[in-house]
Structure 1
Amino acid sequence: MTANGRAHHLHLDESDVGGYALLPGNPDHVADIAALLDEPVFVARNREFETWRGSLAGETVVVTSTGVGGPSTALAVEELAALGVDTMIRVGVSGSMQPDTRNGELAIVTGAIRDEGTTKQYLPVEFPAVATIEVVRALQEAADAGGVPYRCGLAHTKDSYYGETEPERMPLASALVERLDIWRRGGAVCSEMETAAVFIVGSVLNVRTGSVVMMWSGDAVRDGGPAPAVEPLFATAVEAMRHLVSARGAAGVAGRSVGVA
């Protein structure tokens, strides 16, 4: 935090947030996700971090972009948690890893393979990166209610986008191809760059976490076809957060709420 109580990278303070955050990687997705909240308003932007604020069921929800990869994602989770956010859902796009994946199918991530460097600065690699069960359930309920196709499973979180999409041109080509095949044969459903950081940093900071990503099928990526529509992804994430807010309210646990301009 800075001397005036603002988060160093996010440029937010406690009055800007509540207890809930949706975390897209892409700053261009923030306003579109926030438009699904009640009374959305722009709050701040610095570097890759853009934040909008709105509400669901009377509780404040922020949408903050994390940028690409573990380091910037860890910064966002750290600073939001320090401001009082205790429930976070990553909302992103990924490549699929299983051959039967339909283009645009969602992956509700239950755990992440820690094939990256950021989380090793927090916990040894033997410590699993797992989602919070009630967040997984909320995402499943939201997808079911919206009729959005999905599967639950493990994400492969890595540091190098091109090491996964074009491994054959890397000096480590044979090792990269072998590792990707191991993850695939082990049942990983998608490959992306942020979920492990959300889960591990959230675990260390006692934050509830989840992750939902829209998958491009391998055929669609190779054929250069159009990207699948992201609207079902955004709607599923927002409805899941609405479920979590409502469940907490029904249990009589008050979340922090601030005024929305």
Structure 2
Amino acid sequence: MLIDGKQMHIQITKGQIGRYVILPGDPARCEKIARYFDNPQKLASNREYTLYTGTLDGVQVGVCSTGIGGPSAAIALEELVECGADTFIRVGTSGGMQDDVKAGDICIATAAIRQEGTSREYLPIEFPAVANFDIVLALRDAAEQLGYPYHTGVIQSKDSFYGELRPHQQAIAEELLSKWKAWKAGGALTSEMETAALLIVSAVLGVRCGAVLNVLWNADNDAADTIPPDATERGVRAAVEALRLLIARDV
């Protein structure tokens, strides 16, 4: 779907962005992430999609925001692949689910619970949303190099932000609370809204995708004032360093 030669939503053309792309949700984070690149340049800004390009270790990389939730994230991934990208790291914020997942930690997703709707329009619910192994390893190595407290494992993706924060107010409160209890019992680390869709779409398109999530609170027991001042930057720095590792390993 091209308009004047550009992708309909992200508004760039093939060749304008490299194969390696970081995917935050918030457009305002794109410029901050691009500052870690050499020679960053803004490419486009349309709706929830803001894009920058630059280089790391002489290789072209990019950043593209996805907005909130699976539908807009899937659109971004589809169009970025059309433009030549094939390696993606989602960076986002989340709420910890396990007691030992604290504000300031980062969670590296090995897989995601598909409690959302977008991925069901790509693959049946029985198909797992699994992160690319090379990206998981690169993110783990980056977190260790940076000295950040981190966890690796399954995370939960959902469609309703307030369904998590205010489950008792929802008409299906009993179902939401029961599933939350089950996810925790199974060891789910943290909760967010985009990863499952991105992992499933990447599987269908045959590209690599992973995710690193900044934990800003624990959904059950953290106070807001416990958030470290650099909490939102930890996942970003881990993603940037992971891209450097992937670039070196892909040679």
Q: Shorter-normalised TM-score: what interval?
A: over 0.9
The 1:168–1:220 alpha-carbon spacing in structure 2 relative to 1, beyond 3 Å, is closer
Offset of residue 226 of structure 1:
6.1
**Counterpart in the other structure of 1:126:** 126
Q: In structure 1, what residue type is equivalent to 2:160?
A: S
Name which of structure 1's ranges 4-13 and 43-52 shifts more when overlaid on structure 2. Answer: 4-13
Give the Å deviation of 1:102.
2.1
Cα distance in 2, alignment partners of residues 184 and 30 from structure 1: 32
Percent sequence identity over matched residues?
A: 44
- Provide the residue aligned with 2:156 in structure 1: 156
Distance 2:100 2:155 in 1: 16
> Is the contact between residue 17 and residue 85 of structure 2 (CA under 8 Å) also seen in structure 1?
yes
User: How far, CA to CA, are the matches of 2:176 and 2:9 in structure 1?
Assistant: 33
Pairing partner for 2:236 from 234, 237, 242: 234
5+ long unaligned stretches in structure 1 = 250-261
Write out per-residue CA displacement over residues 174-225 of structure 1, whole angstroms, 9 at most, x where no aligned residue: 1111111101110100100000011000000011011000112327986332
Secondary structure, in 3 states, of the residue corresponding to 1:203? helix
Counterpart amino acid of residue 56 in structure 2: L
* 2:203 corresponding residue in structure 1: 203
**Structure-to-structure mapping, 1:75-94, within 5 angstroms:** 75-94=75-94
Match of 2:218 in 1: 218
Residues 68, 193 of structure 2: 8 Å contact kept: yes
| Corresponding residue SS for 2:15 | helix
Please state whether the residue corresponding to 1:31 is helix, strand or coil: helix
Give the Cα–Cα distance (whole angstroms) in 2 for the partners of residues 87 and 216 of structure 1: 26
Whole-Å Cα distance in 2 between the matches of residues 212 and 223 of structure 1?
A: 22
Q: Distance in 2 between matches of 1:156 and 1:219?
A: 12
Change in Cα spacing, 1:12 to 1:226, as seen in structure 2 (3 Å) is farther
Assess, with a 3 A threshold, how the Cα gap between structure 1 residues 75 and 100 changes in structure 2: closer, same or farther. Answer: same
Alpha-carbon offset, residue 4 of structure 1: 3.2
Flag the 1:219–1:136 CA change in 2: closer, same or farther, 3 A: closer
Of stretches 223-232 and 112-121 in structure 1, the one that deviates more from structure 2 is: 223-232
Residue 57 of structure 1 and its aligned partner are, at CA, apart by 1.7
> What is the CA-CA distance between 1:101 and the residue it aligns to?
1.5
Do the aligned partners of 1:20 and 1:60 also contact (CA within 8 Å) in 2?
yes
Q: Which amino acid aligns with 1:120?
A: R
Q: 1:182 to 1:205 in 2, by over 3 A?
A: same
The residue type paired with residue 80 of structure 1 is L
Whether contact under 8 Å (1:107, 1:151) holds in the other structure is: yes
TM-score of the two chains, using structure 2 as the length reference: 0.96
Aligned residues: 249
Residue 16 of structure 1 deviates from its aligned partner by 1.3
> Does structure 1 conserve the Cα–Cα contact (< 8 Å) formed by 2:119 and 2:197?
yes
How far apart are 1:100 and its partner, in Å? 1.6
Alpha-carbon distance in structure 1 between the residues aligned to 2:11 and 2:221: 36
- Counterpart position of 2:15: 15
Residue by residue over 1:151-194, the C-alpha shift from the partner in whole angstroms, topping out at 9 and shown as x without a partner, is: 00111100000001110111111111111110111010010000
Tell me, in whole angstroms, the C-alpha distance in 2 between the residues paired with 1:6 and 1:35: 25
Residues 1:116 and 2:116 aligned together: yes
Supply the AA of the counterpart residue of 2:243.
Answer: M
Given that 1:103 and 1:220 are in contact with CA atoms closer than 8 Å, whether structure 2 keeps it comes out as no
Q: CA RMSD in A?
A: 1.4
Change (3 A) 1:219 1:18: closer
